Structure 1
Amino acid sequence: MTTPDLSPPSDWQVGKTLSESFDHLLTSGIGSDVTFIVGEEKNRVSAHKLVLISRSPVFFAMLEGPMAEKGEITIPDISTQTFQLLLRYLYTDKIDLTDSTVVPVFNAARKYCVNILVSLCETFLSKTLTADKACAFLEQAHVVMANSLQDVCVQFIVENATAILQMLTFTDLCLDCITRVTESDDLKITEKSVYEAVIRWAEAECSRQNIEASAENKRDVLGDTLYTVRYLHIEEEYLLGRICSDKILRAEDIIDLVNHSRNDNPSLPGKLNTKRRLVIPQIFDRKGWIASDIFGYGGTVDEAISFKSSVDVYLFGFGSLFSGKQGSVNLKVFEEDECLVEATKEREQPRPETPDIGDVVLDTPIKIHAGKTYTILEHSNDYLKKHLENCIAKITHQYITIAFSNSPRSNQSDIRKGHIPYLLLSG
């Protein structure tokens, strides 16, 4: 004879944690006593007042305060997915954030004063923010008016401007977001690069509006953002060459700029920002003269120079001699014995006054810490046909002093001669 099973029935509450039981309440709707109509789709979402008022002062005011809403409550400005993620956190203290959900969840958490969730979103963003994602995050934060997240994204873009302003994602930003970046005094990039970035954005915006990318239309879509470029701090050759040729900046503005720089005329219209950004790179020149003879052994050649800075600065790049057959530079940058960067970069076009030298600009500026030894190394598989002689070992520019030293990684370059004419640095 079979003995009957006298054990209690296995209900959903049995063997569950508080978090698991509350999650089941949310998912099943058992005992729910409030209904929300959520998002543009007007989806019905059930919840429990006790949980909501215990977790959010906004929900408390909405459900139990003197102005408490009756019946179904409409929430049109949050998507169903985001609202459900918010509720799941309120019920369980758990959240599964992703790149696509972190900004809307942050906005919802801020709206309902769920401060711990706000902090979780900020932490997630700070840990996952990359050059590839920064512009998309900024645009999302702008759309939902999440000001603190916008600040985080703008600061990241400003710190990594050399790479980010060249990306297609930068041209996808709205004009307000572009302006927030390009007006920053801390933007770590040259003014020439800022100008080229805003012109690329203008061309993309003309395409989005299905209008001709003429000089006039580019000027119109940019509006005052065109004047976030600090034209006074662009080399005059570039101003009178590329910028004049583009015909986007007005002729009278260019005349004012030239008069200001050449004729010691201090008067400039207010729209032309004269303030130098804090991190415009300066050339720290080793002052050597260029010798045109074979320098190196052929085959594998490593030429390097080490240096220390008296204060914290940023390394934007360095000068490189057009020597040998290769137009690109295989480079490494070391902090003490740690390799910070290993890359192949093209030399930029030389300046008129230094026709044998091109800038090598790093994708992201490197912070140089005072007192630490840094080394720049160029690697070549060819004979080097030019080098510097009679270099100086110490350079002081304004408040920054750079002291060069010999590197054991170098074949022949040292503080007297070598292959790296100058550094591009800014405080």
Structure 2
Amino acid sequence: MTSSGQGKWRGKMSAAGCLSYLCLSENLADVWFTFKDDSDARLPAHRFILQMRSEVFEKMFSRAYQTSEVITDITVDDVSRDVMELLLRFLYTDELYLSPDNAFNILYAANKYMLDGLHEQCAKYLVNQVDAENVCDIYEKVKGYDLDNIVSLTCLEYIRRHAWKVFKTGKFLNITRDTLSAILDSDILTGKEIEIFKAVKKWAEHQCVLHEKQTTPENIQSFVGDTVYKVRFPLMSIEDFIEEVQPSGVLSDEHNLLLHQYISQKQEGDTLFEGKFSASPRNGGVLTEQIFNCYPNPTCVPGGCDQAYLMTIMTNEDIHLHSLKGPLIRYIEAIEIHKQRRVDVTCLTYDNRMLLLESRDIWVPIPYKSGCQENEEIVFTDDILLLPTDYTHIRIKLWRRLPGIEGRQISQAIATRPGKRARGARRQGAEPMVRVVRATNMSLIIQKTTVSLELIPPGINQISFR
């Protein structure tokens, strides 16, 4: 034990202050960490602190005590000096300095020395760092030492819900086949099945290049292996199957024939397939949010509902619009879309939105399907991708104007004075009516994605994304 620290270093320091002072100090040190890859490095420590904080060190020193062995050096061969310094700093002071460069190594060290608190902080840090570019890399690196699979499950969830983005990254091409299989297993994987297939094919071709093999059908099938059964070919259209799948070499001749027969003869709603391939639809990771509309019932709007409305959607990350729900649905004649680049629009004023609403040539119809009248929901059949670079305007046209609450049902004070037209509503001529004076705006957090909705029409009470 070093005695050079005997003196007045304690002063009026608190217990926390003394521990901070002793961290990485030779004062009172009775054990040193040495490193296999850095023979000159020696980090001082204190057995009592190590045993107090880590079950691994407690067992290590207890065994040594029972055998009368004196441990003065602990050689570490799988943790660097820099990481061990950060780990010791955490043991003594609870301070932690995480960065993208050290988080994985600290997570590994936390797992090795059974430091649950440190592990939890590293896991939270990595979870908050997840995005489309790094999610595959994070998932692969934490496998095997992710306590309770906190990071792994978060990564898989992110990949499944943002597959259309992740599949485009270079890191996706380097995942293992086991990881690819785990992704394809999901019932909530986003995107069309043909796009999922293209991603698998691209991954297999990249594996051929990595292993210096030709991209022949045999080699592609070898790398894909049984993971091919995780692609739900029965969900594809016959056109996609003939044009993309059959020439690719991913499937054997037997599978090509079997699937071709099924897809060409299947009826809408078929979910059964005799074979290893699944015909169960993926729900695309639909995430539903309630809208607290100022006017939840379109027939109870003061002055009535106009015949066209403009709703604007903004987002900070790519996300797909899936469906709208509410009593207004039964009156909808058409839904159209127009996108504006944010860099081209200095400000979205009420007047320029009204100009958009009245414009004729800029709007593109959105195909959708609607359920039964009681369900009051429409589901968009095409991918409506909302981008952070755009203002996405949705024009909702009704097949007739809804009269709403009559003037006599409104307080006389309101009914006898001119009202303002609802924001987002089209002008309806000069007929006497009490206008809607409130508009519904909301911001939602969808799986770490912020979505802002402006000028939500009356009677739209639920929105879904994926």
* TM-score, normalised via structure 1 length: 0.65
Structure 1 residue 62 corresponds to structure 2 residue 60? yes
Q: Which residue of 2 aligns with 1:384?
A: 361
Residue identity in the other structure for 1:108: A
Q: Which residue of 1 aligns with 2:29?
A: 32
Q: Which residue of 2 aligns with 1:279?
A: 284
2:143 partner SS: helix
Deviations 1:386-412 (A, max 9, x none): 9769x99x81179964259xxxx9898
1:28 partner SS: coil
Q: CA deviation at 1:44?
A: 4.2
Paired residues of 2:188 and 2:284 also in contact (CA < 8 A): yes
**Matched pairs, number:** 337
1:414–1:171 Cα change, 3 Å:
same
Q: Which residue of 2 aligns with 1:78?
A: 79
| 1:40-189 paired onto structure 2 within 5 Å | 41=38, 44-65=42-63, 71=71, 72-142=73-143, 144=145, 147-189=149-191
Deviations 1:282-315 (A, max 9, x none): xxxxxxxxxxxxxxxxxxxxxxxxxxxxx9389x
Q: Aligned partners of 1:13 and 1:373: how far apart in 2?
A: 73
| 1:140-289 paired onto structure 2 within 5 Å | 140-142=141-143, 144=145, 147-263=149-265, 268-270=274-276, 272-279=277-284
Residue identity in the other structure for 1:126: V
Q: Aligned partners of 1:411 and 1:368: how far apart in 2?
A: 12
Deviations 1:24-73 (A, max 9, x none): 42323332222334465565443211111111222212222577875333
Q: Aligned partners of 1:175 and 1:100: how far apart in 2?
A: 26
Q: Aligned partners of 2:133 and 2:37: how far apart in 1?
A: 30
1:240–1:369 Cα change, 3 Å:
closer
* TM-score, normalised via structure 2 length: 0.60
Q: CA deviation at 1:231?
A: 0.9
1:213–1:257 Cα change, 3 Å:
same
2:134 partner SS: helix
Q: Aligned partners of 1:280 and 1:254: how far apart in 2?
A: 29
Structure 1 residue 396 corresponds to structure 2 residue 365? no
Q: Aligned partners of 1:36 and 1:51: how far apart in 2?
A: 14
1:23–1:195 Cα change, 3 Å:
same
Q: Aligned partners of 2:75 and 2:27: how far apart in 1?
A: 21
Q: Which residue of 1 aligns with 2:443?
A: none
2:196 partner SS: helix
Paired residues of 2:324 and 2:378 also in contact (CA < 8 A): no
Q: CA deviation at 1:152?
A: 1.6
1:136 partner SS: helix
Residue identity in the other structure for 1:52: L
Q: Aligned partners of 2:114 and 2:169: how far apart in 1?
A: 35
Q: Aligned partners of 1:94 and 1:70: how far apart in 2?
A: 30
| 1:346-361 paired onto structure 2 within 5 Å | none
Q: Aligned partners of 1:142 and 1:230: how far apart in 2?
A: 27
Q: Aligned partners of 1:385 and 1:156: how far apart in 2?
A: 34
Q: Aligned partners of 1:425 and 1:227: how far apart in 2?
A: 29
1:64–1:77 Cα change, 3 Å:
same
Alignment partner of 1:339 out of 292, 299, 313? 313
1:269 partner SS: coil
Q: CA deviation at 1:337?
A: 6.5
Paired residues of 1:377 and 1:410 also in contact (CA < 8 A): yes
Q: CA deviation at 1:383?
A: 7.7
2:371 partner SS: strand
Q: CA deviation at 1:91?
A: 0.7
Q: CA deviation at 1:258?
A: 2.5
